[in-house]
């Protein structure tokens, strides 16, 4: 299923860095570092810096399969319901507007006929009363329609807020699982830095620890 808001924000919000222990420099090395900025550049050995594809971990994780997908399905159904409801409102509003315009036209036509002497005063009064009744009925239906729209809008907003909250809670739980997984995997500080793959332009695939993190995330989720 196509990812929605739950996963669109992950790549831009999660960037994990794990600092290793800094080694003490001798006085000679400190002096050399002060002399030129290039002295601070070190050759990164394999494994010192690795990267993690958060999107892959999320989409492949058990928490997404068990909870993320159902939430996304509910969001999709809600969006479809919202669209259908709004279309219904628009159609109803157009119908009421057409009735209002016809009443206005009929009233103008009646006035014109009466002014030209094409209709008796009695008939004009009778038609005027009929138009007034139709106008009162139309106004009542317009008021009821407005009240219905306000009530349904409030209900939809509450439903949307609930879905967004469920979505955010799940995202928070996933992020906590990833943090715990990384803490467990890198407890011995074997990696000096772990980057989000979105920040990586090019890298050796052997430095990708996504599968390792995914397995740990699934293990932690199963233990909850």
Of residues 105, 93, 92, the one with CA closest to residue 134: 105
Q: Tell me the torsion sign for CA atoms 24, 29, 35, 36.
A: negative
Question: Max CA-CA distance within the chain?
Answer: 115
Per-residue pLDDT band at 48 (split at 50, 70, 90): confident
What is the residue extent of each domain of the chain?
5-223
Q: What is the per-residue pLDDT across 140-185, written as a single tens digit (0 to 9) for each?
A: 999 999 999 999 999 999 999 999 999 999 999 999 999 999 999 9
d(CA 53, CA 196): 6
3-state secondary structure 63-74: HHHHHHHHHHHH
CA distance 30 to 46: 25
The whole-chain average pLDDT of the chain stands at 84
Q: Are the C-beta atoms of residues 61 and 217 closer than 8 Å to each other?
A: yes
Per-residue pLDDT reduced to its tens digit, 100-140: 999 999 999 999 999 999 999 999 999 999 999 999 999 99
């Amino acid at each position: 299923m196509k990812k929605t808001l739950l996963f669109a924000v992950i790549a831009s919000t999660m960037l994990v860095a794990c600092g290793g222990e800094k080694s003490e420099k001798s006085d000679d090395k400190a002096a050399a570092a002060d002399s030129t900025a290039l002295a601070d550049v070190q050759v990164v050995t394999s494994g010192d810096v690795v990267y993690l594809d958060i999107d892959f971990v999320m989409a492949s994780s058990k928490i997404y399969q068990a909870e993320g997908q159902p939430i996304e399905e509910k969001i999709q159904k809600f969006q479809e319901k919202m669209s259908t409801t709004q279309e219904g409102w628009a159609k109803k509003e157009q119908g009421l507007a057409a009735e209002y315009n016809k009443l206005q036209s009929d009233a103008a036509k009646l006035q014109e006929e009466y002014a030209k002497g094409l209709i008796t005063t009695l008939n004009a009064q009778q038609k005027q009363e009929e138009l007034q009744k139709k106008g009162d009925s139309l106004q009542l239906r317009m008021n009821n329609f407005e009240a219905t729209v306000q009530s349904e809008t409030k209900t939809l907003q509450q439903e949307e807020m609930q879905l967004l909250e469920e979505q955010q809670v799940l995202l928070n739980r996933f992020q906590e699982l990833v943090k715990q997984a990384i803490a467990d995997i890198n407890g011995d500080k074997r990696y000096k830095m772990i980057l989000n793959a979105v920040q990586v332009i090019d890298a050796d695939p052997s430095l990708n620890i996504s599968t390792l993190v995914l397995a740990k995330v699934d293990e932690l989720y199963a233990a909850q």
